[in-house]
Structure 1
Amino acid sequence: MRNSQFRNLFLAQELTGGKQPEPRYAKSAPQTAIGSKISSGGDATIWVADFSLSGQYLAVAGKDRSIKVFKVIATEEERRAQERYESQFSVASKTPLAPVFISQPCRDFKGHSADILTLSWSKNDFLLSGSADRTVRLWHPSQPTCIRVFQHDRTVTSVAFHPTDDRFFLSGSFDAILRLWSITEMSIIHSAPMADIITAVAFSPDGKVAICGTFNGICIFLGTEGLVERSRMCIQSSGSKSGVCFKITGLQTISSCDSIDKTRQARLMITTNDSLVRTYYLADYGLQYKLEGIRNQSSQIHARFNDSGEYAICGGENDEVHIWHLNSADLKEGHERFHTHSEAVTNAIIAPKRTREIVNLSQDPIYDLCGCPKIKINDALENCSSSHLGDHIIITTDTMGEIKVYRQDCAFDRRHHVSQSYQATQ
């Protein structure tokens, strides 16, 4: 596109997030959470990845039944140590060394006995994981082992921490029951039976509404108190004559500034297996955008907002990542894509602003060239003004257990200018 918001992307780091597949897996096709085939990868497939709300951690999990938590490089000492580590394994390259994470996970949580299908971080860095082993487990990076286990009757497909009170969380599973749990009491506070397998759950940004999506494409809105249904809608293509609704593969809510009237609006993003992503206004369930371009016909791949709500990003069953600039006057003009993995892209995430602020404190070679002023570490998350033009960080994962970290080279124009000035003096 003519005015790319994500120009000068480069591969800054590669991490390993799953057990690497043996050659015999090369032509096998593992199944997704609901039984439909997606791509090769065997035991390495990463089903889910998510940044902590603090921006300090990235968690990934999948078929190898473990959760790997990677810590963002936060100090100059950590960066020097990471550079020494990478220099042992990397050959000389023209690509600038600009890692975002410490390569070795700070935690490799084990305890699940089947595929891990869903993760959710709380505001206090607690982490929930849901699995085909019929359990939800609670973790924290400060603890080496599982803190608590919440037993279910069937495969757990989705979990979501309450956004304002992390004593509570939602879970959805194959048994078609939406549950609201109390962590402190280790019990179910409310439950609501659905008519179909629950494939995704979420809270409204204020936590007052619980939302669940189903295998047959129904999105249901319930009051969190009591889980009493308020409304529902069927997600189907406008041109569909059969009235068939499509499986909901992901739900995400956000409260952000509307590009038209500039007021804060709560919005809901719904990803479905008709290869579309839709955003709705939660106030009246009105459709805002319909985002096209991805290939998502049978998997659990889902789109995500970035933390400001300005962009949406999604992987796909091919090797593409798609990004939509939601404040663009023309969504087609504001749609970008790039090729990344050789396999299906199971997750694509734009790192939150807090992650970029943390990276900026570590003598990062990219941000330092952009001329961001240095600040005290204790004030980093509150007062850092490290918002460089074109400084995005993008994380992608695939069915081969690979994690790729892409960065925008926000210092590209400055280096180019310096280079031209130098050449002019010669």
Structure 2
Amino acid sequence: MTNTANTTNTTAGSRTKRGAVAACAAVALALGAAAPALALTGTDTSTGVHHIVRASRGTLVSVVPVADHTRAEVAAFVKDAGADPSVVRYGVTAYRLTYRTVTAEGRPTTATGLLVLPKNGVHRLPVVSDTHGTMSHRDYAPSVAEDMGRLSPYVQAAAGRAVSAPDYLGLGKGPGLHPYMDTRSGVSATLDMLRASRTAARQLGRPFTGDVYVTGFSQGGQVAMALGKALSEGADRSFRLKAVAPIAGPYDLEGVEIQSMFNGSINDTSAVFYMSYFLTAQNRLHPLWKEPADVFRAPYDKVVTGLFDGLHADEDIVKALPPTLKGLFTDAYLKELQHPTGVLKSILKANDGTCDWKPAVPVQLYSASGDTDVPIANARSCAAQLAAHGVKAPVVDQGAVDHGGSAIKSVAQIARWFDRVEQRG
């Protein structure tokens, strides 16, 4: 469920790739070094921030330029990340948007996200909704950090489409805590980011056509499927869903993802990180325990919830937790995880089923047989659900690569596939 695009993998070793890739990228991509001032009505030219005062969901609050890169710089960034740079046709400009949305409980709030535009190409742009994977620190978010979190957005934009990449609630510069793996708020924040992106793109002179291509990695793969479902059901009829191509999403939490944490398909470090993050976030929305000691063994019952405050790095969280689920959870709760009941079961049910619909557009599911964070069985479960509705969704197996590697191999392939879908009309 982790982001390639940000942390590549949830194991402690793979998390170091964030810093390594960021260091390589810094040579070619100086963050915001050439970011132009916005020439928009109402822009504060001293800050480059454009303010719009309205109150409805998806309303654009501000636009801040964060990056401006030539085609050669983008190609170097993509190559340094280990991805295929041959799809890079244009340079890109990127902006942090702040926009109005709602919390998981439905209260008004704001969130941030990244809008990326190609420098050249057609005037009116189709847009890619690109949703990122698991991250713990709010500053890992795409609109803040120029690291692997921008790999897919830059690839998609450099291929000639606009990209709307939400940070989600509670990440980036948005207030509050992140409601991790709450599908409903993931979709609402993503849809409202699309609306804000449409406004910003129009103000920036690159209006949208209304066609939407959907992708996302890991946690974002699940959000991508749910967003596709929402758009197909008319969540915003000004957007026309054209194709869905998620990568390594945990589409089946109860039937595949959690069971894989106990049968060896998911590595222990990732299992501990994901499950502690998931339960901590969900407990804020749907209380799962009266006291942390009801679930977590001592001494972790005193520290787990505080680790997921948006201010701790992945590697620091891993160091503070035990190496196995058995060391983290009480015996009783280990049994509850393997055979969910009550509130936990209802939470899992609410977040599963993102593949239980009948798309009228092409769908391809990208994954990897070597993934020990989100096993490929998730993609096969999703494909089976779609098949039950008469929809054939190929599972593209990227082979013996890890979780982050599945995204690194997939992003350029997805850009080419979106090209083919667009050409077919």
Pairwise TM-score range, normalised by the shorter structure: under 0.3
TM, length-normalised to structure 2: 0.25
TM, length-normalised to structure 1: 0.25
Q: Which has the higher contact order (CA 8 A, sep 6+)?
A: 2
Asked which structure has the greater CA Rg, the reply is 1
Normalized per residue, the structure richer in helix is 2
